[in-house]
Structure formats: C-alpha cells, structure tokens
Amino acid sequence: MVGAFDFVPAIVLLPFFSFLVALFLGKYMPKGGALAGITATAGSLLLSIWTVLTVAGFTGTATTYQQTLYTWAGGMEGTPLPYELTFGLLIDPLSSMMLLIVTLVAFLVHVFSLGYMNDEGETGLPRYYAGLGLFSASMLGFVVADNLLMAFMFFELVGLCSYLLIGFWFREEAPPSAAKKAFLVTRFGDYFFLIGVVAVFATFGTAAFAGDGSFPALAEAALAGEGGGDVNTLFGLDPQAWFTVVGLLVLGGVVGKSAQFPLHTWLPDAMEGPTPVSALIHAATMVAAGVYLVARMYGFYALTPTTLAIIAFVGGFTALFAATMGVVKREIKQVLAYSTISQYGYMMLALGSGGYIAATFHLMTHAFFKALLFLGAGSVIIAMHHNENMWDMGGLKDRMPTTYYTFLAGSLALAGIFPFSGFWSKDEVLYEALVHGLGGSPLLLAAWAMGLLAVFFTGFYTFRMVFLTFHGKPRTDTARNPHGVRWNVKGPLAVLAVLAVVAGFINMVPVAKLTGLEIEFLHDWLAHGPSGLTSEHYSELTHDYANYSVGTLVGGELGTALISGAVSLGLALAGAGLAYSLYNVPEPVEHTDRLGSAKDVLFNNYYQDEYQVWLANDVARGISRGADKFDQGVVDGVVNGISSVSLLSGSRVRRIQTGVVSNYAALLTLGLVALLVILGLQGGWFV
Amino acid sequence: MVPPQYYLLLAAAIFCIGLFGILTRRNALLFLMSVELMLNAANINLVAFSVYWGNVTGQTLSLFTMALAAAEVAIGIGIILTLYRNFGDVDVTDAASMRW
Amino acid sequence: MIIEALIAFTFAAALVTFVLPDRLAGRGAFALSLVPVLGSLYMWSQFDASGNALLGGQTAFETVIPWLEVAGYEISWYVGVDGISLPLVVLTTVLTSLAIVSAWTPIQHRQSQFFGLMLFMEANLLGVFTALDFFLWFIFWEAVLVPMYFLIGVWGGPRRKYAAIKFFVYTNAASLIMFIGFMALVLGLGDSTSSFALPDVAQALRGGDLGSFYGLDANTLRVVAFAAMFFGFAVKVPVVPVHTWLPDAHVEAPTPVSVMLAGVLLKMGTYALLRFNFTMLPEVAVEYAPFIAAIAVLSVIYGAMLALAQQDLKRIVAYSSVSSMGYVILGLVAYTAYGVGGATFQMVAHGLISGLMFMAVGVIYNTTHTRMVGDMSGMADRMPVTTGILIAGAFGYMGLPLMAGFAAEFFIFTGAFQSSVIAGNGLALFTAAAMFGIVIVAGYLLFAMQRTLFGPFRLDTDYEVGPAPLHDTLPLAVLLVCIIALGVAPEIFFSMITDAVDPVIGGVLQ
C-alpha cells in the first residue's frame, strides 16, 4: 500500500527541483521563480502534514519509518570496505514534527519574499529563489537523515546555502564578508563534527541513529557491559571517556551552527542577508540544525554526563551572554539576532539537563515566534525603506496595525509572557534544569541560574524593541509616512502569529500537573517511536548514566513547576516593565550611558569578534606570511642554492675554454701525456 | 728485415715534430701541415705492423687515413680561406669567438 | 589491443596537429582528442578486470609483446589496466580534451605546435597509466617531461624559462634517484625475476625474495630503495619540502597547461607511489608510517598556510594542490580499504576539481589580464556564469558534500582514522591534524573569492568587461557536472578502485 512514507523523499526533492527550476529557468518565469518555490514548499508542507498524521496514527496505527534508500559507498558485492555509507530516511515523531516546522516556515518565507524581494524590485531573483529552494531542501534532507554521515553532509549543504543567501547582495562590501564569516566560523565547528563522524565510524562501524545496530544502542550496550566487543575505543580510553570525547567532537558542529558561545559571532553579521533569509536561517533551518542534531542523537549524549553538563553550561551561559548584548543594540535585526543566540542557548540548556521534550518544545515554539518576529521586522524594514535603525522608527503602531499586533504576539512569546507559546516552552526548559539540579546535579543549578537571569534581559530587550519601533512618536519622516505592505507580507505574519499564540497549548505542563488533565500532547507524541528513540528511554538513560533524578522544592513536582513558572514569569514581566518605564514614552532617549563602562563592552559584544578576527586575520595570516617567507627563502632557497652551486662551478670550469686552438691542443697533449704516465706507472714501465 | 722498433722510433719522431708544430705555431697553414705529419706518423705505424704481422688490415686502414687526410685538407683549406677573409690573416689565435 | 590503438592514435593525432595550419589547430586537436575520450569510455564499458594488476589480479586489455633483452632481463611492451589505472586513464583523456578547448582563447601564436604538444603529452600520460613493464613505463614517465617543458617554456609567462628549467631539472633529477632505487631492488631480487615487468617484481618483493645487493642486506636495501623511490615520486606529487617547483611552474604556465599539470601530471607521482612504494614495499611503509604521515600532515597544513599568504589566484590554487596531495599520502599510508581507495579516488577528484579551478581562473584572466587578488573586485557582476561555476568549484575544493572532493576526503579520513598502522591509534591523531586543512582551505578560498568576485565592480581596463564566450565556460560546466556526479555516486569509480586496492592492503596490517 502506498502511504505517506513513500512520498517522504519528495518532501526533500520538491524544493530541490524548485532550486533547479529557479536557477535555470527563473529568468524566463514570472516572479523570477518564486512560484516554483512556493509550489514546491507548499507541496512539501502538505506531504509533511500527511506524514505527521501517519506517524500520529490517523491513518491506522501509529507508525514510524526507517529505510535505507541509497548506498553511497561500499555497496558492491565482495567489497573490502568494512562498512557501508548510506543515505536513508528516519521518520519518527521528532523528525516528522521538524519536517512540519521547516516546510511551514519555508513556505511562509517564500510567500513573504514576494513582498520583500519582488515588490521591492530586487534583481537576481532567480538566484534568490534558487538559494531558498536549495536551503529548504538541504535542511529537509538533514531532518530526515537516518545516520550521522548523511546528517553531516546536509549540514554542510545548509552551510553553503547560508553562504549564498547571506551574501545575496554581493555587489556591496558587507554581505560577502558576513557570508564568508558565517561559513568560516561554522566550518571551524564542522571540523570537530567531521572528526566526530569519522570517530563514530571508527568506534562503532556504523553511524545509524536508530535500531539495534545503531551507534547510540551499541554505546549503551558497551556501557552496560553487554556486547562491548563490537565497540572499538581509541587511544586505550575506556568506553565512557571515549564516548565523551566523541560526543564533544560532534558537539563542535552543533556549537558552530547553533551559534553557541564561543562560535556565535557569525550570526549577528549574518543579518546582512535579506530578512526572509534571516527568518529561515534563525527559525527553522541552519541554527535549528545544531540543536536538532543533539536531539536526534540524544540516546548517545544521554550516556555521557560530562557532555551533558557541558551542553547545559554552554547553553545556560550563551542564553545569558547573548541576552545581555541584545539589550543595547540599535538595529531591530541585531536585537533579534542576539535573541536567537540566547533562545538556542535555552534549548541547549534543556538538552544538557535531560529535558529532551522541553528542548524540542522550545525548538518548535521558537521556530514560530522567531519566524514571526523576523518577518515582522522585515515588514517594518519594507515600511522604513530598508532603514533598520530603531531610533529612526517610533509610532509605527498606528500606521501598520497588522504588523504591530502580530509582532506583539511574537514578542510576548519571546519574552515568555503567559499564556503565549514561549512561556510554556521556556518554563519547561527552566523547570527541567531546576528539578534535575535539585535532584543531585548541583552544576545544573548554576546553568539554570544563568538561564533564569536571562529571562529578565529577554523581557527587557524584547519590549525595548517593541516600544522603540512601534510606540512613541515617529522620529523620522519615513516613520511618519511608511511604505505600505501587501497581503503577501500580512498573510504569513497572521499565520505565524496564531501559531505563536497557541503553539504552547500542546504542552502545558504546569496546567496538566495542576488539573490532572491529560493535555501534555507533546510528551505523548515524543514518547512513542522506534525503540531507543523515545523520550522515556532518554530519561531512563539520563537517570542511569548521568544520575539525573528529579528533586523538588516545596509542594512536590506541582509546587516546583508552579514556583518555577511564577518566578520566570515574574522576571520576564519585570524586564518588560523596566523597558516600559524607560522606553514607552513619546520621546525615548538612549539610557545606555547609565551602564557605565559595561556599555562599551556590550556594544562591542564582549570583544568576541575582535579576538576571532584577530585570530583569523592577524595570527593566521601572520603565520602564513611567515611560512611563505620561509618557503621562498629557505625551502626554495636550498633548491636555488643547489642549482647556483652547479651554475657557479660551471662558470668557473668553462674558463678553460679560451677559444684559442693552440690551448686546446696543448690540453689534449697534456691529457695524453698524463694518460701515458698513469698507464706507465700502473704497468711498471719505469721500474 | 728492418726491426719494427726503428719504424716506431721514426713514427714517434715524426709525431713529435707534428705535435711541436701544433703547439708552437700560430699560422693555420703550418697547423694543417703539422696535422698531416701526425697522421702520417700513425700511417707509418700501421704499415709497419702490417708488415710485421703479415696482415693487410693495417695497410687498408692507412689507405682510409689518407682518404681522411685528403678530405681534411680540403675542409681545412676552406676554413683557412674563411679565416683569411674574416681576419685578413691566418693566425689561429685571432679566431677566439668560441671563447666562454 | 585497444590500449595500443589509443596510444598510437594519440601520437598520430599529435603529428597531424603539428602540420595543421595554426587557425585550424585548436578545433582539429579537439576533434582528434575526442577519439581517445571515446576510446577510454569504451574501455570503461568493456572493463572486466578484477584485483590488482601488480598482485596477480586479472588485468583488462592486457598485451605482452617481447621487445628487448638487456643483461639477461626481458623487456616487453606490456600494458593493461585495472581498477586503479582505468579511472586515471579516463581522467587523462577527458581532461586533455577540455584543456584543449580552454586553450582556444588564450593561445594565440604557434597554435599547431601547442596543440600538437598537448596531444603528445596525452599519449605519454596514457602510457604512464597503462604500462606494466618498468622500462616501458619509465620511457613514458620521462617523455611526459618533454612536452611539458616546451609548453611552459614557449607559451608561458614572463619567467617561463626559469620555471620550465626548474620543473624539468627538479623532476628529472628526482626520477634518476627513483630509477637507481628501483634498479637496486630488481638487482637485489637476483634470480627471482628475469624481467622488469612490474607484476613480477611486485610479487617477488611481496613474496620476500629480496636478497642482498652491493653490500646491503635485504632490510637495508628495502629501506634505501623505498627512500629513493619515495623521494623521486614525492617531487612529482609534490609534497613538502620538495614542492617549490610547482607554484613557479603553475604561475608561468598558460592556463590549459596548468590544468594538465595539476589535473594529471601530479597524479603520476601519487599513482607511482601507490604502484611502487606502497604496493611493493609495504613493510617499509608500515615501519616508517609515522614519518610518512608527518610528511602528509605537513603538506596539508603547510601547503594550505602558504596558499593563505598568496595574492596570485593561480598560486593560491597551486599551493592548495600541495595541500590536497597531502591527503593522498595520508590515505595511502593508512593501509585500509577506505584509506588507499580514498587516496586513489582523491587523485581523480582532485584532478577534476583543480582542473576546474585553474580553468575558471584562466577564463577570468583571459578577460582581466591580471590574476592578482588586489587588482579586481566584483567580477561576479560582469561574468556571472563563470563566477558561479568558480564558486561551485571552490566549494568542491573545500570538500562540500555531494561533490567529488568530499567523497575522497571522507574516505581518506575515515580510512586513516581507524588505521592501526601506527601503534596506539597514532594515525588517528595525524588524521585529526590533517583534517584541519578543511578549515584553512575554506579560509583562503573564501577570502580570495570575497575580494575578487564580490563587492563593487572594479578593474582598470580600457575595454568593456563582459561574459566569457561559450567555449570558455562549457568545459567548466562539463567538469562541474563530472564532479557532482562523482560526489553523488562515488561508486562510479570507487567500487573498481576498492577492488583493485584490496590486494595491496591484504595482509599488511594484522
């Protein structure tokens, strides 16, 4: 029987075909190939919905799907290769949910681009839509990947697409530079990831995510003392230590793509790309890829407490660190960029503290509200004739109400205000970190504290952005008379605004605990799936191997959940309230001077860029120039030296060629005499 | 029969005279003559040994040498003529353009 | 007989091209060069070899014709292909045809000689990759240098004479040392072999028949011969520190010649390393694996660092070739199926990718008449198609998945990482160090592209800068398609390669 799973490859291939169509035929098509992209992503979206319904069991029993489609290498009969490298599909609750998110956001971004790019008279549209198509296809390929190698390959292709799209306006100076930086910084992370992939193959002989022979399952068996013979650890390390090393190596790629400290520096620069691309990158594709990867192989990470602790710490720190930088930014997209980094920090925090569901939940809600915010910002930017400085805006509320209300919905979700979606997911993230911290992992409490503090900053910068953009009096002529936007901008905003409001209702943990209703749909959703890939299995693993257990404050789990929710809501409101008092005035002024010397540090992003640019530019180039001098001088010098020795001796010896025939004759005679003498001496003539 | 040593001595003497001519003279014509002398010294050896061994190979070879010498003279005179045209002299040390 | 026909036809084509009038030479040479392409594709379709040609496998299109006898050694015309050489034969014919097309624009004098020499070189290259008798192989090996010398020395840039002589003397001197090393091995084998046929020598050596020679016992002889041959081939590859002829040769050579130099000639060195050192003397390779691996890592990292310092686009690609060839050495020394197979695959992949890069740089140079990074900017504005393909090629060079370079590099990495050739997983550390090359290569290519291709258009010319003609961009597109095809389906070549390298690694690592 033909089911949804038979069409899963089409979810990936449709956007790929739209890439080909837009690239080669785009200039002959109306709208520069946009329609191809919209059709393709709409098709992918419909197929994804069908897939999700199939996984959920609406078409019979709930099923998952794992299928190897293509053997990339090592498939020949009698091959000496120790393992095959394959491409395959893994459709389970996690990946099908992600498919839905990606296709939905990609579809909306395509539609929005009609307003942002076509209506604004951009050139190079076929290239733009080709890039979007390839971007979507790569991300979808990554999502459905059933093994780590395939995931890596599409991960890299995502990086390529981000390069092409961030550098879309290549005739200017800044975008190509930002594109280069994005690729290079993430490439640095991918270097570790690639070693990790290779190490996984060397250790397990497979990189499959799911099944009995998958590497998380083999690792688990090795740690449990069963079947450890199949696992080949390197450098004489014991399995636990070696798995930690491998996990950290793969984590390098995650830190790069998900813009975690210290490889987050590319992301704010990536704002040079067109705004719909920013929405796609930040909400659903590239940056999400890192976190998704950790979730995808969570069965492996859950085995190594050190890795989990590092993930949690990096996440918590990044959440706070990025949030503080978002506080002082002047451009609307910069604020959103830092909020993205911060929000992905929360997801990492959740993953590190054993909150697999919380991380997935936040990944989903964030995708909706961040896409909404970026598209809203795009709408504002259209209105402001591509001026992104918030200090030139103000009072846009009355002139563009649709944008305002949708943007507000997204902001409330981002700040984590009850009952918007961000509240539920962020609350669950913090709850997981708290209870596992209380349950005997005090390190998690520190990460939790950072995450909690970041809530305040999030509330502050979010509403600072809202007030500066939409409230008060218009501060420039463009803000007084903004450019209008059409349905193709408003439509995606409306869809996303609805999702940003309601998406949290699928997993209202505190409400469920309070009322005892069975409304934790996401928990149920992620609890089924292939064996070894379920949330229950993951919590067993974190419990057994990382000693994560639930500890509570007063009132048991319910009380802890309520207290945690109340505290984070309170902090968010406090942040928002501070923003309200400072910036919701008719003529707001910058208050950054009150920060004192911290202001410079924040404006300069803690000098993270400086030292990385210094490393890449001055140190690396300095070394390379030194190497070049060494090469030209010493290595090539030796070669040229050898040749000049022979040239020099040649030039000396040739002086016996006087050109006078008599001299040659004399030399000949001398030679003859010498020969005779030698011959005579040898023959004993003179004795 | 004259012992071969005498021939050898004669040949060595003629060879040395030719060699002396080449090493000391600068006139190209004298050069050519000296070379002829040296060739003839070799010819004497060849013929002498031919007689000594009762074998005609040496005499045959000497005939070759004569033919060669004739050719050489023809070319040599040509070269000397060219020398004279270019330098107005037949001094071999003038033509030193093959110098390093 | 197909191999003889192919080589003979190519020589004949070279002669025909020599006497063609200059204005027809380019088109004529291209038409003639299509015959070897078709021939090699026909060979591919009829390919029925299995195993390694040197180690008792079944060789395809094998011909043995006795030729000479020297000092008791039989010399014969002995050719054939296996899974290692066939991909290189196909690479040679395809790349030569494309290089000839790419020469139509830049070569504007003495065309008939230029294209004749290109074909002459192709014939000799085919000989190098198919010959299975050392004597025959060595003739082709040396004969390749002759056309290359003239191609650089006559049609090259301002310092062409220096570059041509350096290239010729350097590689020729190295060949001499290699020759001595091989001859010492053959003589050390004594009565075990009575011919220079590579399979006989290889099997005798792997069978442990090596005796003492010239006062050296078998073990010392093995090491000395290995070192001599390694040096000889290392110059050709080239690896650090004997690489300095390469950038000079590349910078001075006209673009199509650079394509051949980087695309095929460098592979002669790695091919010979695989065929001689790593097939015949695996004991020495394993014993000195840390040293060889260190050279590989040094080539990768140092070559890439040098590329980072360059301002001339061709020099950048030249140094990055040094870097990429380091991966091949790393794969070879791993002695795993993925490692050695990946190294062989990398020969083909790098041949295509570096050919593409040089061609693309050449197309830009045809328009700009400068290759210095600082002299131009924003070329993407005026030459969108060329730039697009150049970007694709550059990402291929960086090892973008689903392009041939990634496949090759991943095979090498995964093969080398788990190799036990150095005790205690030492090669894994070398591999991890070498893999940092993928970051540096991204660095210098992205920097160079940003400065030349993007930004506002700037180039000081007194003529209009426009897109390149179709016959300049078409070879680029063909190469790009090949690269993507090999990246998506590496099994096109990889299965036959692994089949042929299996005997090489067999029994080396217990």
Q: Please, what sign has the CA dihedral across residues A384, A390, A396, A397?
A: positive
Helix (H), strand (E), coil (C) string for A655-680: HHCCCCHHHHHHHHHHHHHHHHHHHH
Per-residue confidence band for A228, with pLDDT thresholds at 50, 70 and 90: low
Contacts of B100 in chain A (CB under 8 A): 654-655, 657-659
Q: Determine the average pLDDT of the residues in C236-253.
A: 91
Residue C23 covered by a domain: yes
Min distance B99 CA to chain A CA atoms (Å):
4
Would you tell me how many other CB atoms lie within 10 Å of the CB of residue A31? 18
At residue C371, the 3 state secondary structure works out as: coil
Interface of B with A in 37-96 (CB under 8 A): 92-93, 95-96
Q: Measured between CB atoms, does A640 come within 8 Å of chain B? A: no
The one-letter amino acid code at C1 reads M
> Is the pLDDT reported for residue A507 higher than 60?
yes
Phi (first) and psi of residue A439, to 5 degrees = -80, 15
Residue A655 has its nearest CB partner, among B23, B96, B100, at: B100
Residue C185, domain member (yes or no)? yes
- Which domain does C64 fall in, by range? 2-505
Using the structure block, give the residue that is written with the tokens 């020469």.
C103
Q: What counts of helices (H) and strands (E) characterise chain C?
A: 24, 2
Q: Work out the minimum CA distance from C29 to partner chain A, whole angstroms.
A: 32
What does the DSSP assignment read for C12-80?
HHHHHHHHS-HHHHHHHHHHHHHHHHHHHHHHHHT---BS-TTTT-BPEEEEEEEEEEETTEEEEEEEE
Q: Quote the pLDDT of residue A62.
A: 73
Residue A413 pLDDT more than 70?
yes
Model confidence at A600: pLDDT above 80:
no
Q: CB–CB of B98 and A659 under 8 A?
A: yes
Q: In the predicted model, what is the mean pLDDT of residues C100-112?
A: 91
Share of chain C above pLDDT 90, in %: 72
What lies within 8 Å, CB to CB, of C266 at 6+ separation is C236, C237, C238, C246, C321, C325, C350
Copy the structure tokens of residue A595.
Answer: 């920060």
Judged by a CB distance cut-off of 8 A, whether residue B1 touches chain A is: no
CB of A618 within 8 Å of a chain C CB? The answer is no
Fold of the domain spanning B4-89: Helix Hairpins (1.10.287)
User: Shortest CB distance from A627 goes to which of C166, C305, C450?
Assistant: C305
Instruction: Give a yes or no: residue C414 inside a domain.
Output: yes
User: Among the listed ranges A392-406, C127-141, C443-457, which one has the minimum average pLDDT value?
Assistant: A392-406
Report yes or no on C142 lying in a domain: yes
State how many domains chain C has. Answer: 1
For residue A354, what is the DSSP state? T
pLDDT at residue A619, as a whole number: 86
Q: Is A521 exposed, middle or buried (0-12, 13-18, 19+ CB in 10 A)?
A: middle
pTM (2 d.p.) = 0.90
State ipTM: 0.93
How much of chain A exceeds pLDDT 90, in percent?
29
List the single range of C24-28, C149-153, C211-215, C311-315 with lowest mean pLDDT. C211-215
CB atoms closer than 10 angstroms to residue A397: 18
CB contact under 8 A, A659 and B26: no
Q: Any chain C CB within 8 A of the CB of A235?
A: yes
Please tell me the predicted confidence (pLDDT) of residue A226. Answer: 66
Interface contact B31, partner A, CB < 8 A: yes
Q: Which two tokens stand for residue C333?
A: 């020394």
Please report the pLDDT score of residue A489 as a whole number.
83
d(CA A670, CA A666): 6
> Which residue bears the tokens 């949330």?
A535
Query: How many whole angstroms separate alpha carbon A275 and alpha carbon A277?
Result: 5
Average pLDDT, chain C: 91
Residue C435 domain-assigned? yes
pLDDT tens for residues A170-184?
888 889 999 999 999
pLDDT tens per residue, range A189-216: 999 999 999 999 998 888 888 888 888 8
**A270 vs A187, A192, A336, C290, C372, CA distance in Å?**
15, 22, 12, 42, 28
Q: Does A241 touch chain C (CB under 8 A)?
A: no
Instruction: Return the pLDDT at A227.
Output: 57
Q: Is C356 part of a structural domain of the chain?
A: yes
What is the model's pLDDT at position A98? 92
Closest partner residue to B99 among A657, A665, A666, by Cβ? A657
In the three-class reduction of DSSP (H, G, I as helix; E, B as strand; rest coil), residue A287 is classed as helix
Of A223-237, C87-101, C418-432, minimum mean pLDDT range? A223-237
- Chain-chain contact of A171 with C442 (C-beta, under 8 angstroms): no
pLDDT tens-digit series, residues A527-544: 888 877 888 888 888 888
| Residue A234 confidence (pLDDT) | 82
Residue C318 makes CB contacts below 8 A (sequence gap 6+) with: C246, C247, C250, C251, C258, C262, C307
Q: Can you tell me the mean pLDDT for A88-106?
A: 91
Pick from C298, C301, C322, C329: nearest CA to C421: C329
Contacts of A655 in chain B (CB under 8 A): 100
pLDDT in tens, C24-47: 999 999 999 999 999 999 999 999
% of chain C with per-residue pLDDT over 70: 100
Residue with the bigger pLDDT between C39 and A326: it is C39
The answer to whether residue A20 neighbours chain C at the CB level (below 8 Å) is no
Q: What is the mean pLDDT of chain A?
A: 87
Closest residue on chain C to A171 (Cα): C455
CB contact under 8 A, B99 and A666: no
* Alpha-helical runs (H) found in A57-116: 93-113
Q: Which residue has the higher pLDDT, C508 or A338?
A: A338
C63 within 8 A of C1, measured Cβ to Cβ: yes
Taking the C-alpha atoms of residue A74 and residue A86, their distance in angstroms, rounded to an integer, is: 9
Question: Is-cis flag, bond preceding C256, omega within 30?
Answer: no
Find chain A residues with C-beta within 8 A of B16's C-beta: none
Distance of CA C426 to CAs A45, A83, A144, C342, C416, Å?
48, 22, 35, 19, 10
CB contact under 8 A, C309 and A639: no
| Cβ pair A659:B23 closer than 8 A | no
Cα→Cα distances A607→A102, A598, A611, C167, Å:
34, 12, 6, 48
The mean pLDDT of A39-55, rounded to a whole number, is 91
Asked whether the beta carbons of residue B98 and residue A657 sit closer than 8 angstroms, the reply is yes
The one-letter amino acid code at A599 reads K
A662 contacts chain B (CB < 8 A): yes
User: According to the model, what pLDDT value does residue C423 have?
Assistant: 83
What is the arithmetic mean of pLDDT over C416-440?
A: 90
Classified as helix, coil or strand, A68 is: strand
CA distance, residue B5 to nearest chain A CA (Å): 17
Relative orientation angle of helices A487-502 and A401-415, to the nearest 10 degrees: 30
Out of A124-128, A471-475, C309-313, which region has the weakest mean confidence (pLDDT)? A471-475
Taking Cα atoms as reference points, which of A405, A398, A292 lies closest to residue A350?
Answer: A292
Residue C510 lies in a domain: no
User: What's the average model confidence in pLDDT over A439-461?
Assistant: 87
Residue C360's SS3 state is helix
Which residues are registered as beta bridge partners of C195? C74
How confident is residue B37, by pLDDT bands cut at 50, 70 and 90?
A: very high
- Under 8 Å CB pairs connecting chains A and B tally to 32
- Alpha-carbon gap, residue B24 to B16, rounded angstroms: 12
The minimal CB distance from B92 to the residues A655, A662, A666 is found for A662
pLDDT of residue A615: 83
- Tell me the two tokens of residue A533: 């890939």
Neighbouring CB atoms inside 10 A of A60's CB total: 9
* A666: contact with B, CB 8 A cutoff: yes
Comparing CA positions, the residue from C338, C345, C330, C317 lying closest to residue C261 is: C317
What's the average model confidence in pLDDT over A602-630?
Answer: 84
The verdict on residue C192 lying in a domain is yes
Using one digit for the tens of pLDDT, what is the confidence trace for C332-373? 999 999 999 999 999 999 999 999 999 999 999 988 888 888
A1 — pLDDT class (breaks 50, 70, 90): low
